[in-house]
Amino acid sequence: MSINAYWHAFAGILHRELLRFVHQRTRFFSALVRPLLWLAVFAAGFRAALGISIIPPYETYITYEVYIAPGLAAMVLLFNAMQSSLSMVYDREMGSMRVLLMSPLPRWYLLLCKLVASSLVSLPQVYAFLAIAWFFDVQPPLMGYLWVAPALLLGGVLLGAIGLFISSFIRQLENFAGVMNFVIFPMFFMSSALYPLWKMQESSEWLYWLCTINPFTFCVELIRFALYDQFNGTALAVVTGGLVAFTLLAVLAFNPQRGAMR
């Protein structure tokens, strides 16, 4: 197969994801309303509990809104990744994924294109959230908006691969929502998105341990450091390794015949 064939396949999948996103306008607004409510309401309520300022991984004190903004940006990626996995269950039931996988291109490449395309569609939503968060005094360096793009893409693909791996074991579309509730909320709350890990450790040692093995924690930390023009090698290594591992597991577990309509 030529390089053009691979490129046209990716461009077609990306175009399909963009069309789906454009036709689902409420998806864009719901992706913004959710983190903005957390930023405006949740931060105000918990600022008193955690103190006016907390010690971040940087060499200065910051407000709680500034701390949780990267975690809320990762929340946008998480929900979009799970919605993309939901669409995979739908496509598998309707047969469109089986038609796509009939192409001579490798299955792993087509599924990876699906994950990357979904992550690219999530980027405008994250940047829209960060633009509005600017008025909540979440004002990172301008170069941070550039450095955070690769971190968002890596994190989005990792979360999409996790969702795709989970969706590979779901036979019917109606079962997906219940399963996702046991995935999204534990991943989000048992991470450093809302609280520093040292706060978790002060509260509960076992909860801190769960947070440290949660891949979403490292997605948040990678985004947090990149947004403020810093580099976190540990988070990058874990996110990259998790991306490769879960993508491989998702490709091996994905069965287009599972859930096929009779």
Strand residues in the chain grouped as ranges (E): 53-54, 62-63
CB 138 within 8 A of CB 62: no
Q: Under a CB-based contact definition with an 8 Å cutoff, are residues 86 and 168 in contact?
A: no
Selection from 9-13, 41-45, 163-167, 210-214 with the highest mean pLDDT: 210-214
The yes-or-no verdict on residue 258 having pLDDT over 60 is no
pLDDT at 169 over 70: yes
Please say if the pLDDT value at position 262 is more than 50: no
* 190, amino acid identity: M
- Return all residues near 172 (Cβ < 8 A) that are at least 6 apart: 89, 93, 259
What's the CA gap between 96 and 259, in Å, rounded? 12
Q: For the chain, give the number of residues.
A: 262
The model's pLDDT over 82-120, given as tens digits with 9 standing for 90+, comes to 877 777 766 666 656 666 666 777 778 888 888 888 888
Render pLDDT for 176-200 as a digit per residue (tens, 0 to 9). Answer: 666 667 788 888 888 888 888 877 7
CA 155 to chain centre: 6
Least confident of 60-69, 88-97, 186-195, 247-256: 88-97
Q: Is the dihedral of CA 195, 201, 202, 203 positive or negative?
A: positive
Judged on CB neighbours under 10 Å (0-12, 13-18, 19+), 245 is: middle
Checking if the pLDDT of 65 tops 50, the result is yes
Lowest pLDDT segment from 125-134, 178-187, 190-199, 238-247: 178-187
What is this structure's pTM?
0.83
183 membership: H or E segment, kind and range: helix 176-189
Transcribe 98-144 into DSSP letters.
HHHTTSSS-HHHHHHHHHHHHHHHHHHHHHHHHHHHGGGT----HHH
| In the chain, where the domains are located | 3-253
